[in-house]
Structure 1
């Protein structure tokens, strides 16, 4: 079975066992490693594999053809994207400013827009889409006034002499009491494998990784590029949790709240929220 997920530590941790034949009855995986910006557009264009990791923000565009699996994704607390600036300043300083974002169809982008609509009087100025690994250098050299960062940038932005203006995960949790939805696992509704079976195998893969961390770590670090062991471990600790194993009621409520608000603000197309659970 063809599957696409990123080489980030949380994804390789989650799917190690399944990809290496440790899950009973699960089909062998043909893995494509691709960042979430690519898988989002594969899903939009209906050209991706049977199962993919995409941003929760992309669901409104694809739920007619893809089902959300309740296992294998990334939600959590204390793990949201950050708004960074070169100089310590007040939120009001973002009014009319240029802000770099890694994607305009990401959970991070939705959170930023929802937050800015409430907190930045007059709104921000130009939104510049930029590869996420270029955002912090651009803020550092003054090319951009502020940057929205994700992934391991949470742990490394101080190395660029940058300041955190807002942790959007903290804002979201204080505002809603819910975890923040980040990455979703979706499966083609036309797949020959039932969604319930796919979710069961993904959940078993998470359980195996938790039970065999040292074995799993070899695979994780082989795809972690130049990331240190400490950063990779912190990444996994943040993004792999009980919501990864199974969404549960709080997980579903978080997704419905995020996408429902985004739909009201016109940030995503109108869609049937009930399809999130179908």
Structure 2
């Protein structure tokens, strides 16, 4: 006869589905969780790796993942289903997406070109439209932008991720760094990507999972060498010292906590986007953790 005692130990851990991009900085952040160095009692974390524009679209149309990396530009489109985590963001301190070209263009000349961009929901695209509202764009996968410019299919491209460190090796010229432009305009850093968490998880779970991510980021920063060697498998075309530099640019104190000016920068970027007609919805930014 079966015992009527409840099987306390057989309770399945609650699965939290996490999605982030296959970049060295994201891999560095999630190293602690992905390798079980950071555990949370009663929870199991599963990781899906996918490029950021696909994640933006999936979060917008399906709200599929519990935690998802997103471009800040995408947030207004998914704010009903997701809140922003107060950690895990990539913020450019006077640097960010760049327009690069096969020749040296003036700023007024570049505004008249058709530019390859990595996706309409990327923050890079939003910053570009704030800089040059009239500019013509065509969407090209982010890792194909430099090859497309080199092939002569576009005169200029908007680059994100590691391309910011490697474009010079391809013989391309920097026309403008939008992170630098944004800092001159606003005196603020440029928030590029963050992590969003599904509201339907409820407050307690949202807070617990956000803390787990913060612990994972702290673990990476505290065990930099191990976290970096884990992240290297996702470092497209970067040697260790460049990967280290790239991770340092986008995983730092601000990744643990945006700070007041970081939060202000997120609000300002999205409010300006709305005021200038780039983002159709009014934006309500709220942070978890």
Following superposition, the deviation at residue 101 of structure 1 comes to 0.3
* Structure number with larger C-alpha Rg: 2
Normalised TM-score (structure 2) = 0.89
C-alpha distance 215-96 of structure 1, shift in aligned 2 (>3 A): closer
Q: In the alignment, does 2:139 pair up with 1:129?
A: yes
**Which runs of no fewer than 5 residues in structure 2 stay unpaired?**
1-15
**Does the CA contact (< 8 Å) of 1:69 and 1:198 recur in 2?**
no
**Does the CA contact (< 8 Å) of 2:221 and 2:252 recur in 1?**
no
Q: Which moved more, 1:101-110 or 1:136-145?
A: 136-145
C-alpha distance 141-225 of structure 1, shift in aligned 2 (>3 A): closer
User: What residue number does 1:156 align with?
Assistant: 166
Following superposition, the deviation at residue 71 of structure 1 comes to 0.9
For residue 24 of structure 2, the aligned residue among 9, 14, 23 is 9
Following superposition, the deviation at residue 226 of structure 1 comes to 4.3
For residue 241 of structure 2, the aligned residue among 206, 230, 243 is 230
User: What residue number does 1:178 align with?
Assistant: 188
User: What residue number does 2:211 align with?
Assistant: 200
> What RMSD over aligned residues (CA atoms) do the two structures have, in Å?
1.6
Q: In the alignment, does 2:270 pair up with 1:259?
A: yes
**Does the CA contact (< 8 Å) of 2:17 and 2:46 recur in 1?**
yes
**Does the CA contact (< 8 Å) of 1:39 and 1:48 recur in 2?**
no
User: What residue number does 2:177 align with?
Assistant: 167
C-alpha distance 223-88 of structure 1, shift in aligned 2 (>3 A): closer
Q: For the residues of structure 2 that align with 1:222 and 1:210, how far apart are their CA atoms?
A: 18
Q: For the residues of structure 1 that align with 2:168 and 2:114, how far apart are their CA atoms?
A: 21
Q: In the alignment, does 2:123 pair up with 1:112?
A: no
Note the alpha carbon deviations across 1:116-148, whole angstroms, 9 max, x for none: 13xxxxx32x31100112211222232112110
Q: In the alignment, does 2:97 pair up with 1:86?
A: no
**Which runs of no fewer than 5 residues in structure 1 stay unpaired?**
118-122
C-alpha distance 263-188 of structure 1, shift in aligned 2 (>3 A): same
Q: In the alignment, does 2:78 pair up with 1:62?
A: yes
What is the SS of the residue equivalent to 1:148? strand
Q: For the residues of structure 2 that align with 1:132 and 1:76, how far apart are their CA atoms?
A: 18
Q: For the residues of structure 1 that align with 2:172 and 2:226, how far apart are their CA atoms?
A: 36
Note the alpha carbon deviations across 1:59-88, whole angstroms, 9 max, x for none: 000011101100112113033000111111
User: What residue number does 1:44 align with?
Assistant: 60
For residue 89 of structure 2, the aligned residue among 59, 69, 73 is 73
Normalised TM-score (structure 1) = 0.92
In the comparison of the two structures, how many residue pairs are matched? 271
